[in-house]
Amino acid sequence: MKSLPEKDFWNAIRNRLENYKEEPQDDWLKIAGAIPAAGERQGNKPVNLAADLLSVASVVMLVWTLCAVTPAARIWTLANVSTPPVTEKVNGQEADRLKEDNERELKEHKVEQNEKGLPPVTKETESKGNRFGDVLKKVEHNDASQQQASLPELDNDAKTNGRDTRSAHIDGPEESQDTTDSVQTVVAAKADTVFFAVPPILQQKSKTRRKFRPSVYAVITPSFAYQKIVPRRDDNINIQKLNSAGLVSADRLGYSLEAGFQMQVSNHFELYAGFLYYQQNLLVSYSYVTDGDVETVNGTREKWSFELSPGEATRTFRYAMKNGGASAGVLYHIRGRKLMHKLGAGLQYQKGLVRSQGEYSYNNASSSYLNYQLLYRMEYSLSGRTSIFLQPQFVHSLVADEVLREPFTVKPYRAGLGFGLLYHF
């Protein structure tokens, strides 16, 4: 044969290539580890449902928080006031906060009045309009000993009346709109107790504020990662031994960053919702039985005896997780004012972010995790607006929709100590 016609030549190549077979390395172990189990394929529903609920809760929480701090919401609150003034007793931390609030509100109110073209505040209008003018004068003329002597009485009076009290006047405009725009404060002998004779507008507002007082928080939590490993039952791979780092080992170290909003909803309860990032880099090695050697010991044509000598291989799995997600939960205020103790519980939804192409690399880009979170918070107030907190916490996976190229599934959990900062609006 001199030469094949062109068409036949390519057909011959096609036939040979089409039927070409080659024995590959046996990678069944890796393949079996990466095939999702039957339940896993349809098992995303609880995770998705929980994620949806968590997302909705977070969004509601954020909207609620934003509404509570926007001027529109404040104006709405102010417009619905008709209750008479009441003097309230508050602790030092609350007092600081209220004092700052009141000062700022009065300034804002003054600006509004100017913008509306109302007459400027004068000494005359101040003296006419200020229901507490006489009291202020009295205070100015009273000496220190008189003040001390009459304190208990003033305490009682202040609680019930709010007029006949010794007052330290917080600067700000006193305008011609009766008593609704003035603030009277009595600083009592007890350093941590302040009495406010709160005018109706601000009183109502402060109530609203305290009830729905929003805060933003940020917390970094170094943690130790652990995991519950469940071997797959249907892959014929026998794991002999797991070798992971010690209980408290640098190899287990990870951290999470979280930031979000929290809001007081009752005297004892606060809600929180935020976004988080989590990272860990844990090594797990395991030994498994390989096929090994099969040796024929003795036998006849009808009956053979074999001796199996299974081998053992060790493989290392780097559980280098990077997740992003959202969390939401509730805090219960146990006790304390300056140093508050709180218990918390919540849910976290996390999505994997590691997207590696390597054959043996861990890849969790398509994985998602639903975790529950238990925490204890010690919150210390630095000023009326800022607090720092220390937060031991435990996070455990409820559902881990994770596809590993390993002959087992993993349920991660971790324990950590968070350091956080709170800013109160």
In the complex, the residues that contact other proteins under the rule CB under 8 A are: 1-4, 9-10, 12-14, 16-25, 27-28, 30-32, 34-38, 41, 232-236, 357, 359
Q: Which of 104/355 has CB closer to other proteins?
A: 355
Q: Considering only CA atoms, which of 243, 246, 316, 318 is closest in space to residue 280? A: 318
Whether the CB-CB separation of 311 and 290 falls below 8 Å is answered with yes
Nearest distance from residue 29's CB to other proteins, in Å? 10
Nearest distance from residue 311's CB to other proteins, in Å? 18
Nearest distance from residue 26's CB to other proteins, in Å? 8
Q: Considering only CA atoms, which of 165, 152, 407 is closest in space to residue 290? A: 407
Total residue length of the chain: 425
Nearest distance from residue 313's CB to other proteins, in Å? 17
Whether the CB-CB separation of 244 and 285 falls below 8 Å is answered with yes
| CA 193 vs CA 49, 93, 146, 190: distances in Å | 48, 10, 19, 6
| CA 335 vs CA 269, 339, 381: distances in Å | 12, 8, 14
Q: Which of 3/309 has CB closer to other proteins?
A: 3
Nearest distance from residue 35's CB to other proteins, in Å? 5
Nearest distance from residue 39's CB to other proteins, in Å? 9
Q: What is the CA radius of gyration of the chain?
A: 35
Whether the CB-CB separation of 59 and 261 falls below 8 Å is answered with no
Residue type, 303: K
What span, in angstroms and rounded, lies between the C-alpha atoms of 161 and 174? 20
List of residues 6+ apart from 291 with CB closer than 8 A: 310, 311
Q: Which of 30/74 has CB closer to other proteins?
A: 30
Nearest distance from residue 46's CB to other proteins, in Å? 19
